[in-house]
Amino acid sequence: MAKKNPKRIGLAIIGAGRVGLFRGEVAARHPMVDFIGIAEIKPERAKLVGGKIAADFVTADYRELLARPEVTAVVVATDEHLHVAPVLAAVERGLPMFIEKPLATELADSERVFNAIAKSGVDAVVGYTQRFRRRWLAAKEKVRTGQLGDVTLVTSRAFMNRLVALDNYQRTDDPTRISPMVISGTHALDIGMWMMEAKRPVEVYARSVDKALGPLCRGTDATAGLITFEDGSMYHASISWALPVIWPGAVYSLDVGIVGTEGVLTIDDTHRDIVLATTLAQSEGYAPDANRRVDFLGSYPPGDIAFGELRGPMREETEQWLNRVSMGLPTQHATAAEAHNRLMLTKAFDLSARRRKPVALPITPEDEAV
């Protein structure tokens, strides 16, 4: 039940990239948000986003922003490898947080961040945006209420053109730390594990290939593998983010099957139901490319811009988090514990593929170093 006297929100947004802008635009329309501050290290980007959302305070230093007395909640939307310091700084102030996935890109850092959050008691959630799409909520409800009986198998296949991969590899000094499972496969994995959340994973077996992205940027093309649970149930996952740039999915095309002892659910999330073909260059997706003139509309995970506003799961996710902070409403956001678990599992996929043998779960930072 919602609180009768909702709290006003002073929001700090750390990182004003595309996602920081999306979150900020939604927050600027929320009736309980009285203050928005932005911390962004690129001056021109800070000026642009600050103007678009009528920010009350703009700085290059997140510490200066977090020291403002108006700030009562935080969105951490920096590049993935830069989450640790601002998250720990927000923990020190005891502020509720929305953290873009993952908690960190290294398992040791993720463990440190999770432990700090758990010890502080701060309400921190992590951006697994797929949980806010109706199809996954419908699937979760059928699993939760026992319509499938005991779920024994979940399988997912994710296809992505290589624009996301190339962007991520260009932004890193160490390509070995970037993989399709850690950056993008984690979304499908979170859905799979959400459907099997009462089960304990005990082993992963995986393989990877690098024939397309390897020569381009020392990257990994695709990973496929199998998680086995303590009761013998299985989650099978495969992801390729090395499809040609002209592949029509703006970002994500996903097929999922959920099999139980009493039923089955199949979900076509490939977005082939709305196909745009145009002779004009267009801006759909993560990193638009002028060569792409055909798109599966709706395959950009945050949603779509229509009539000047973001529509779709990222808007829903942001609004529900603001309601959670202001009114204490329960939500289906991923917890910090779940996010740390997802990073551990994606790292275990990569570790198994590197070792070319099964890996016992859970893995530790020390396992990665061997």
Query: What's the helix, strand, coil split of the chain in %, to 5?
Result: 40, 25, 35
Secondary structure of residue 362 in the 3-state scheme:
coil
Helix or strand or coil: residue 71? coil
Instruction: Say if residue 155's pLDDT is above 60.
Output: yes
Residue type, 39: A
| 49-64 pLDDT per residue, tens | 999 999 999 999 999 9
CA distance 123 to 121: 6
Q: How far is Cα 131 from Cα 151, in angstroms, rounded to an integer?
A: 19
State how far the alpha carbon of 231 is from the alpha carbons of 17, 39, 328, 346, 360, in Å.
Answer: 43, 47, 36, 21, 15
Contact 102, 83 (CB under 8 A): yes
Q: What is the location of CATH 3.40.50.720 in the chain?
A: 9-130+317-335
pLDDT at 274: 94
**Which residues in the chain are classed under CATH 3.30.360.10?**
133-301
Residue 191's closest CA among 244, 80, 269?
269
Which has the closest alpha carbon to 300: 110, 194, 160?
Answer: 160
CATH class of 133-301: alpha beta
The pLDDT, as a whole number, for residue 285 is 59
Residue 333 has pLDDT above 90, yes or no: yes
pLDDT at 217 over 90: yes
Amino acid at 14: I
CATH H-level, domain 9-130+317-335: superfamily:
NAD(P)-binding Rossmann-like Domain (3.40.50.720)
- Asked if residue 47 has pLDDT above 80, the reply is yes
- Please tell me whether the overall predicted TM-score, pTM, comes out greater than 0.75 for this model: yes
pLDDT at 2: 58
Local confidence band at 9 (pLDDT 50, 70, 90 cut-offs): very high
For residues 296 and 105, what is the distance between their CA atoms, to the nearest angstrom?
29
